[in-house]
């Protein structure tokens, strides 16, 4: 990343209301030049509206949009130095691939487009298809035409509106890496809208999780995954287990909590809730951080780990891992993903087990929110998390 | 339920069963076509053959007509009535262009901008059909009457000076001039232009407009490069639906025109119903049909609409 700020996207107090419905609440957001930024959320959360306001396709009800130092709020789309890759591509059906890609160049009065268009088509590996019509191409090819058509204009910012939504899973993975490669190569700011948490995490440097017209949390994919600050983020990005606990005491940088008769340790830095003694805290832990040990071997578990007892309710073999649902006094459906390295034959439904994990992997959330926020996201997300 | 111990059925069926299974659905398309084909046969093909034979007959009303393969009738009809043919093409062509100029913005408005008024405007477009063609054309006689407000206004605005100079009107009259006939044709066939235009405009994905705007096309360029090319199927079918019936029309020329504005439709009507020269009338009909067919074919080839989605 450079110090050049001409490709910064700066949204200040931007909002959008339709009648009495607020699609986007006043929002401040800065996307630095050259970064790959993802707006992630379920459908109807305002992410596409936000993108369209940057593109100029939607007029904000309040606030301003800056590209670099330029205030573009009042500019129509055709005067903004941004280009969009539309959902389902919006390729011009009456023009061939070459003319589709050349469209933006021609509109800016550039006469000799041949070389540029051919180079761009080669970049997206469609040199052979130049004279075909869009409907003669496959979904993945159309998607690459859409990217080429936008990128050839060297926009300051490239906006991507669910560009991979229409592709099948395998092709989607491939295009994710491809887009990431192109972004690194051209160094343009990418703003990517998606409802697919895995897509956002694979591609973006920074992810903004949106919910009901607001940015719920913003950060790097690792940061969002490891330190979710709301149950919505914790559930929307992957799966989380929650235990309702009460603050007992503090020791050094850690908080000690009481839950179901046992004690749990939580680093204070990873707790976003007030931690007054006696206060309620939701203790969260990701399923893959947890180890399962049969109750008989509980003595072998090293000291200093958070532990919970329970009984395996269900297990499903996924290949790389086995997913267990553990019924425990503190949480009725505790999910545990165990790598299939050494499978313990005793870990079958009905077995008494001890769940234990490194306290550093624990996060604390405000108990005054719904445990289920973010879980009703699209089915695709649940599927992806399970792979 | 079959049990496992049961012997497997023989793989090859015995001889009598070898008859290929009857494909029950195979004849259905033909049954579905039958009523239409019968209708066309009785009311289109047979009259056509009858007219074709009439056109090569000679004789007189008193002595009766006989097929003598007298193809000269065609040539005679064409050389005598070519001015009316040219006039038909000219009037129908002008009316078609006027319909396109008036109808396109209207169809565009209904398709993209009308919002909740969409249905109301559509009804208004179709509403004239609730009255008979004849009554509507007669109404135009009143509208364009000498000394009426419309003609008065056109006179005051010196529009009639221009149209007079162009040879479309004479003096301070509109009625009984080519302009009146073209106006009548335009009015009567406008819905045939608007409806196909609307259908093809309405089918255009709104995101294509956004994409064009996003790719630096000003609204006017978006229209020129995206909207209009994509509406070409509507333009072609609209112009055909207007031009073809307008070229054969005689009511407008009869009611709104004069003897100087007779179109080929008027000639055919007179030959059939007043002069009772059936061979000439039949020949004229066939010439008109052939001329329209050729023009339409060339037009469709030129506009290249088969290439459009």
Range of the domain at B298: 69-206+232-307
* Closest C-alpha among A380, A379, A320, A385 to residue A169: A380
Q: Which residue of B has its CA nearest to A136?
A: B309
* Tokens matching residue A50: 């936000």
User: Does residue A173 share a domain with residue A159?
Assistant: yes
Answer yes or no: is B84 within a domain.
yes
Q: Does B229 touch chain A (CB under 8 A)?
A: yes
User: Does residue A204 share a domain with residue A76?
Assistant: yes
* Tokens matching residue A323: 């997913």
Q: Does B204 touch chain A (CB under 8 A)?
A: no
A→B interface, C-beta within 8 Å: 55-57, 76-78, 82-84, 86-88, 90-94, 103-104, 107-108, 135, 149-150, 153
Domain count, chain B: 1
Distance CA A33, CA A67 (A): 10
pLDDT > 70 in chain B, percent: 90
Answer yes or no: is A4 within a domain.
no
Residue with tokens 């591509």: A89
Are A78 and B213 within 8 A, CB to CB? yes
Answer yes or no: is B293 within a domain.
yes
Distance CA A364, CA A272 (A): 6
Three-state DSSP class for A221?
helix
Q: How far does B103 lie from chain A, in Å, by closest CA?
A: 23
Confidence of residue B308 (pLDDT cuts 50, 70, 90): very low
User: Does residue A33 share a domain with residue A73?
Assistant: yes
Answer yes or no: is A1 within a domain.
no
Q: Which residue of A has its CA nearest to B206?
A: A90
**Any residues with CB less than 8 A from the CB of A126 and at least 6 apart, and which?**
A97, A137, A141, A144, A145, A148
Q: Does B211 touch chain A (CB under 8 A)?
A: yes
Distance CA B155, CA B173 (A): 9
CB-CB: which of B211, B229, B230 is closest to A90? B211
A149: chain B residues, CB-CB within 8 Å: 215
Answer yes or no: is B264 within a domain.
yes
Q: Within 10 Å of residue B30's Cβ, how many Cβ atoms?
A: 9
**Domain harbouring A355, CATH code:** 2.40.50.100
Are B309 and A94 within 8 A, CB to CB? yes
* Tokens matching residue B277: 């020269």
H helices within chain A, ranges in order? 47-55, 97-107, 114-123, 139-151, 169-186, 197-203, 221-226, 231-236, 379-386
User: Does residue A251 share a domain with residue A120?
Assistant: no
Q: How far does A104 lie from chain B, in Å, by closest CA?
A: 5
User: Does residue A167 share a domain with residue A27?
Assistant: yes
pLDDT of B150 over the 60 cut: yes
Give the count of alpha carbons within 13 A of B200, CB side only.
22
Q: Which residue of B has its CA nearest to A158?
A: B214
User: Does residue A253 share a domain with residue A197?
Assistant: no
Instruction: Yes or no: say if A64 and A217 are a contact pair by the CB < 8 Å rule.
Output: no
DSSP per-residue letters across A98-142: HHHHHHHHHHTT----HHHHHHHHHHTT-GGGTTS-GGGS-HHHH
Answer yes or no: is B25 within a domain.
no
User: Does residue A261 share a domain with residue A187?
Assistant: no
Domain count, chain A: 2
Answer yes or no: is A142 within a domain.
yes
Per residue in A24-56, pLDDT (tens digit) is: 999 999 999 999 999 999 988 999 999 999 999
Answer yes or no: is B257 within a domain.
yes
Instruction: Yes or no: say if A237 and A201 are a contact pair by the CB < 8 Å rule.
Output: yes
**Domain harbouring B242, CATH code:** 1.10.3720.10
pLDDT of B274 over the 60 cut: yes
A107: chain B residues, CB-CB within 8 Å: 215-217, 221, 225
CB-CB: which of B211, B225, B308 is closest to A86? B211
User: Does residue A203 share a domain with residue A85?
Assistant: yes
Q: Which residue of A has its CA nearest to B308?
A: A94
Among the candidates A194, A226, A258, a domain finishes at: A226
Answer yes or no: is A266 within a domain.
yes
Q: Does B224 touch chain A (CB under 8 A)?
A: no
Instruction: Yes or no: say if A305 and A356 are a contact pair by the CB < 8 Å rule.
Output: yes
CB-CB: which of A76, A77, A94 is closest to B229? A94
Q: How many residues make up chain A in this entry?
A: 387
Instruction: Yes or no: say if B265 and B89 are a contact pair by the CB < 8 Å rule.
Output: no
Per residue in B201-224, pLDDT (tens digit) is: 999 999 999 999 999 999 999 999
Q: How far does A16 lie from chain B, in Å, by closest CA?
A: 19
Distance CA A130, CA B178 (A): 51
* Closest C-alpha among B242, B229, B197, B244 to residue B304: B229
Distance CA B206, CA A168 (A): 25
Answer yes or no: is A363 within a domain.
yes
Are B230 and A88 within 8 A, CB to CB? no
Answer yes or no: is B155 within a domain.
yes
Per residue in A92-115, pLDDT (tens digit) is: 999 999 999 999 999 999 989 999
User: Does residue A144 share a domain with residue A238?
Assistant: no
| pLDDT computed for residue A377 by the predictor | 44
Answer yes or no: is B274 within a domain.
yes
Distance CA A211, CA A231 (A): 12
User: Does residue A106 share a domain with residue A83?
Assistant: yes
Among the candidates A209, A226, A243, a domain finishes at: A226
**Domain harbouring A61, CATH code:** 3.40.50.300
Confidence of residue B1 (pLDDT cuts 50, 70, 90): very low
**Any residues with CB less than 8 A from the CB of B195 and at least 6 apart, and which?**
B125, B126, B238
Q: Which residue of A has its CA nearest to B219?
A: A78
Are B216 and A88 within 8 A, CB to CB? no
Answer yes or no: is B37 within a domain.
no
* Tokens matching residue A329: 């006094």
Q: How far does A322 lie from chain B, in Å, by closest CA?
A: 38
- In sequence order, the β-bridge partners of residue A190 are A36, A158
Three-state DSSP class for A229?
coil
User: Does residue A242 share a domain with residue A126?
Assistant: no
* Closest C-alpha among A335, A259, A256, A262 to residue A298: A262
| pLDDT computed for residue A172 by the predictor | 87
pLDDT per residue rounded down to tens, chain A (387 residues): 455 777 799 999 999 999 999 999 999 999 999 999 999 999 889 999 999 999 999 999 999 999 988 999 999 999 999 999 998 899 999 999 999 999 999 999 998 999 999 999 988 889 999 999 999 999 889 999 999 999 999 999 999 999 888 788 888 888 888 888 888 888 899 999 999 998 999 899 999 999 999 999 999 999 999 999 999 999 999 889 999 998 988 888 889 998 877 889 999 889 888 878 888 899 999 999 999 999 988 888 888 899 899 999 999 998 899 999 999 888 878 999 999 888 788 899 999 999 999 999 999 998 888 777 777 544 333 333 333
User: Does residue A148 share a domain with residue A251?
Assistant: no
Q: Which residue of B has its CA nearest to A91?
A: B208
Q: Within 10 Å of residue A224's Cβ, how many Cβ atoms?
A: 27
Range of the domain at A102: 9-226
């Amino acid at each position: 990343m450079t110090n050049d700020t001409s490709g910064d996207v700066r949204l200040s107090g931007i909002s959008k209301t339709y009648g009495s419905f607020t699609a986007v609440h006043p929002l401040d957001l800065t996307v630095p030049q050259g970064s790959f930024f993802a707006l992630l959320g379920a459908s109807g959360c305002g992410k596409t509206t936000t993108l369209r306001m940057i593109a100029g396709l939607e007029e904000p009800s309040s606030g301003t949009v800056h590209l670099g130092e330029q205030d573009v709020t009042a500019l129509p789309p055709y005067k903004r130095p941004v280009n969009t890759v539309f959902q389902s591509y919006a390729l011009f059906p009456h023009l061939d691939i070459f003319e589709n890609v050349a469209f933006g160049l021609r509109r800016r009065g550039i006469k000799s487009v041949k070389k540029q268009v051919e180079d761009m088509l080669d970049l997206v590996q469609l040199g052979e298809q130049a004279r075909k019509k869009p409907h003669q191409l496959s979904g993945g090819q159309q998607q690459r035409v859409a990217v080429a058509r936008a990128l050839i204009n060297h926009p300051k910012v490239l906006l991507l509106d669910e560009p991979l939504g229409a592709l099948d899973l395998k092709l989607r993975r491939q295009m994710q890496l491809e887009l990431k490669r192109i972004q690194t190569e051209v160094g343009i700011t990418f703003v990517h809208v998606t409802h697919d948490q895995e897509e956002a995490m694979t591609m973006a440097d920074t992810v903004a999780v949106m919910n009901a017209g607001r940015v719920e949390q913003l950060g790097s994919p690792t940061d969002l995954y490891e330190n979710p600050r709301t149950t919505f983020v914790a559930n929307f990005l992957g799966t989380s287990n929650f235990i309702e606990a009460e603050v007992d005491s503090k020791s050094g940088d850690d908080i000690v909590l009481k839950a179901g008769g046992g004690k749990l340790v939580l680093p204070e830095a990873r707790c976003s809730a007030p931690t007054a003694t006696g206060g309620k805290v939701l203790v969260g832990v990701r399923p893959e951080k947890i180890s399962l040990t049969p109750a008989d071997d509980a003595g072998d578990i090293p000291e200093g780990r958070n532990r919970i007892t329970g009984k395996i309710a269900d297990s499903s073999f996924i290949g790389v891992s086995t997913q267990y649902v553990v019924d425990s006094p503190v949480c009725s459906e505790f999910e545990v993903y165990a790598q299939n390295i050494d499978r313990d034959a005793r870990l079958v439904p009905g077995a008494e087990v001890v769940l234990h994990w490194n306290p550093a992997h624990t996060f604390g959330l405000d108990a005054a929110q719904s445990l289920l926020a973010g879980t009703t996201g699209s089915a695709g997300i649940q599927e992806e998390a399970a792979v | 339920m079959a049990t496992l111990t049961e012997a497997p059925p023989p793989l090859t069926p015995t001889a009598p069963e070898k008859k290929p299974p009857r494909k029950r659905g195979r004849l259905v398309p033909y049954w579905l076509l039958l009523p239409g084909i019968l209708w066309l046969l009785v009311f289109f093909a047979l009259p056509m053959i009858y007219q074709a034979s009439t056109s090569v007959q000679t004789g007189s009303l008193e002595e009766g007509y006989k097929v003598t393969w007298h193809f000269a009738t065609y040539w005679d009809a064409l050389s005598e009535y070519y001015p009316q043919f040219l006039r038909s093409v000219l009037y129908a062509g002008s009316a078609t262009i006027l319909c396109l100029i008036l109808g396109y913005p209207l169809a565009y408005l209904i398709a993209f901008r009308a919002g909740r008024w969409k249905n109301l405007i559509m009804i208004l477009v179709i509403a004239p059909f609730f009255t008979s063609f004849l009554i509507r054309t007669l109404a135009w006689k009143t509208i364009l009457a000498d000394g009426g407000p419309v003609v008065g206004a056109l006179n005051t605005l010196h529009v009639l000076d221009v149209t007079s100079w162009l040879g479309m009107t004479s003096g301070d009259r509109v009625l009984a001039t080519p302009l009146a006939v073209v106006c009548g044709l335009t009015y009567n066939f406008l819905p045939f232009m608007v409806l196909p235009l609307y259908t093809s405009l309405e089918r255009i994905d709104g995101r294509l407009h956004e994409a064009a705007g996003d790719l630096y096309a000003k609204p006017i360029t978006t229209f020129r490069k995206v909207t209009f090319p994509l509406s070409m199927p509507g333009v072609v079918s609209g112009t055909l639906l207007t031009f073809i019936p307008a070229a054969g029309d005689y009511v407008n020329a009869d009611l709104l025109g004069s003897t100087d504005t007779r179109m080929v439709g008027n000639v055919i009507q007179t030959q059939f119903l007043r002069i009772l020269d059936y061979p000439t009338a039949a020949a004229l009909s066939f010439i008109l049909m052939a001329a329209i067919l050729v023009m339409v074919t060339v037009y469709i080839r030129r506009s290249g609409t088969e290439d459009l989605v």
